[in-house]
Structure 1
Amino acid sequence: MEFDLLVAGELNADVVVECGDVRPTFGQVEELVEDATIVLGSSGAITACGAARLGARVAMAGVVGDDWLGDFVLDRLAERGVDTRYCLRRPGRRTGMTVVLGARGDRAMLTFPGEIGRLAAADVPAEALAAARHLHVSSYFLQYDLWAGLPALVKEFAGTTSVDPNWDPSRSFDHGLPALLPHLDYLLPNEQEAEHIARANGGPLTCGLVVKRGGDGATLNLPGGTALGVDAPAITPVDTTGAGDSFDAGFLATLLRGGTHAEALRVASACGALSTQGLGGTAAQPTLPEALELAGTLTVHDLQETQK
């Protein structure tokens, strides 16, 4: 097949502002911050770039406007070796943008959707699906045009599948996701998202659940009973933007290389940690040798044995 990974996701740029100890104040009050930059944003694009950086063959399906910001997004993807032939430009429309306010390891995000949610299942060509081994869907709750057609698309896809739901601005954590879960191979939320989705789902998951827990590492639970955990590397973050997406890239790229679930967890944890060493989601994403070097220092725990 031509691609290891096809990412169907939102596309936008990020304005990353490192506030330090400063907090925004309304009333026309101007404050000085430590740093600010415009970078490639969006969970899908960061995952795609991270996987390509690790040596995977990656294509992206998404939507941007016909503005300069759309050029910026597609150019950054192409620079990282991501195939953008399946990305759409919508005439007269604007590309999405997120303002990321960082504050000593924490962050707040303000998003102008633009075309972020305008990728429909019909916009993902059959040739793209036929050319890929794995389909990854990012920011499920932001991609409202994808909700209706995604179940059929996933069922028909011949390879493996995954979803990173990200946060739901509506706070319902539903929008058809519970009905989609039985047809997925992996769900990759963070800890807060996992708790909300569990309440919305109301039953046991039948797909692999990979939960990102920040400084507490990550866990993997498979339907057959496998339960693994990995610690997070001891790294002081510069900017945590996109760390979970780089984690996704490491996890998926390792499995697609033929690695075990334990190896995938170690590499994913290393990728997530190393990505925090630069501003924005892609600046510090590791190469495969860099990821493997740090991954080799990490231990995967059998959580079933730990609980005995």
Structure 2
Amino acid sequence: MSGKILVVGDVMTDVIVVPEGPMVKGSDRRATVRSRPGGSGANQAVWLGAMAADVVFAARVGQSDRAMYENYFRGLSVVPVLAGDAEQPSGVLVTIVDTDGERSFLTDRGANLNLSADDLPDSLLDEVSMIMVSGYSFFAPGPRAAVQSLFAAAKDRDIAIAIDPASVGFLAEVGADQFLDWTNGADWLFANADEAALLTGLDDYQAQMVALGAHYGNVVIKRGRDGAALGGQAGLRVELPAPSVTVVDSTGAGDAFAAGFLAALLDGEDEASAMAEGIASGAKAVQTIGGQPG
């Protein structure tokens, strides 16, 4: 497999808060606060650009930010196709990082909620070998309809489709059966351990893989410190451990993993090599603050 990859997903400004200790209700806690570009789709696109992949990123931002974001993505080897929203500002995500590196989120998706079919014309698929779509695009009716229309056009052209569920919280809101129905038939699913458990109701990752394989051609389960596993309805095919690293911030680790995996796959690497690249990218991501390569 080779060629161009189209990423569809959110653009956000990530406000990352790292308190020095537990939050004190009604009082102060010293913290490091940083503002950085983010969004699951944007993170994936930028990581792919850093890996020299041929990547196009389609999204919607506040009109006043459009030129700034276009220049930003071009500077990181990503071809931006951004629609400007005259009513909603660009999205903002507040991330609170616990002492163990785990995160909690407060999300205002802003302009991302208005992504429409007009923002995703069939011409985006020209010369594309794969589409990578963030699950956030399925959690609101307008973006969901736009992405599903693009999927239908991609299937007509025999273009591979990859899905990242993106948010266990939003998955719980819409329900596993709904999400599986909306995304059924995609060629690749990249789910973390919590997402795989919610989507299947199962605890064992190998059983989760078989269950998810009934809906997707290939299933990758990102297991954090335990590495990752790949397979499908017939069971496990590849499993690799993760290196031991110091976790500073896990924001974007799953996005980095997916980008590393897909960049290697599109470059002709086999599944085991692609898995190794994904794990290495995820490990690199957790060692710095923010969801994009520093």
Output the TM-score relative to the length of structure 1: 0.82
Paired position in structure 1 for 2:77:
81
Equivalents in 2 of 1:75, 1:176: separation in Å?
Answer: 37
Equivalents in 1 of 2:135, 2:20: separation in Å?
Answer: 27
Equivalents in 1 of 2:171, 2:234: separation in Å?
Answer: 33
Distance 1:66 1:149, change over 3 A: closer
Equivalents in 1 of 2:77, 2:284: separation in Å?
Answer: 20
Distance 1:73 1:55, change over 3 A: same
Shift in Å at residue 142 of structure 1? 3.7
Asked if 1:222 corresponds to 2:232, the answer is: yes
Paired position in structure 2 for 1:290:
none
Paired position in structure 1 for 2:10:
10
| Cα shift readout 1:221-273 (whole Å, capped 9, x = no counterpart) | 13454522111111102211100000010011111001111111100000000
Equivalents in 2 of 1:205, 1:63: separation in Å?
Answer: 29
Identity, % of aligned positions: 28
Out of 166-175 and 206-215, give the one that drifted further. Answer: 166-175
Shift in Å at residue 276 of structure 1? 1.7
1:61 to 53, 58, 63: 58
**Which AA in structure 1 matches 2:277?**
V
Structure 2 stretches of 5 or more lacking a match? 203-207
SS at match of 2:286: helix
Equivalents in 1 of 2:171, 2:188: separation in Å?
Answer: 23
SS at match of 2:230: strand
Out of 143-152 and 8-17, give the one that drifted further. Answer: 143-152
Paired position in structure 2 for 1:294:
none
1:48 to 45, 49, 52: 45
Asked if 1:213 corresponds to 2:223, the answer is: yes
| Cα shift readout 1:123-173 (whole Å, capped 9, x = no counterpart) | 212111123111010134445423234344223212111010111426133
Equivalents in 2 of 1:38, 1:71: separation in Å?
Answer: 19
Paired position in structure 1 for 2:85:
90
| Cα shift readout 1:169-192 (whole Å, capped 9, x = no counterpart) | 261334743224442110111111
Aligned residues: 278
CA contact (8 A) 1:163 1:186 kept: yes
2:257 to 247, 251, 271: 247
Paired position in structure 2 for 1:131:
127
Paired position in structure 2 for 1:188:
190
Task: Output aligned runs, 1:1-308, within 5 Å.
Answer: 4-23=4-23, 25=25, 27=26, 29-33=27-31, 35-68=32-65, 70=66, 72-84=68-80, 86-104=81-99, 105-140=101-136, 141-157=138-154, 158=157, 159-167=159-167, 168-169=169-170, 171=172, 172-174=174-176, 176-199=178-201, 204-284=214-294
Distance 1:24 1:83, change over 3 A: farther
Equivalents in 2 of 1:195, 1:212: separation in Å?
Answer: 12
Shift in Å at residue 80 of structure 1? 0.8
SS at match of 2:113: coil
Distance 1:144 1:236, change over 3 A: farther
Shift in Å at residue 67 of structure 1? 3.4
- Which structure is higher in helix share? 2
Distance 1:170 1:156, change over 3 A: closer
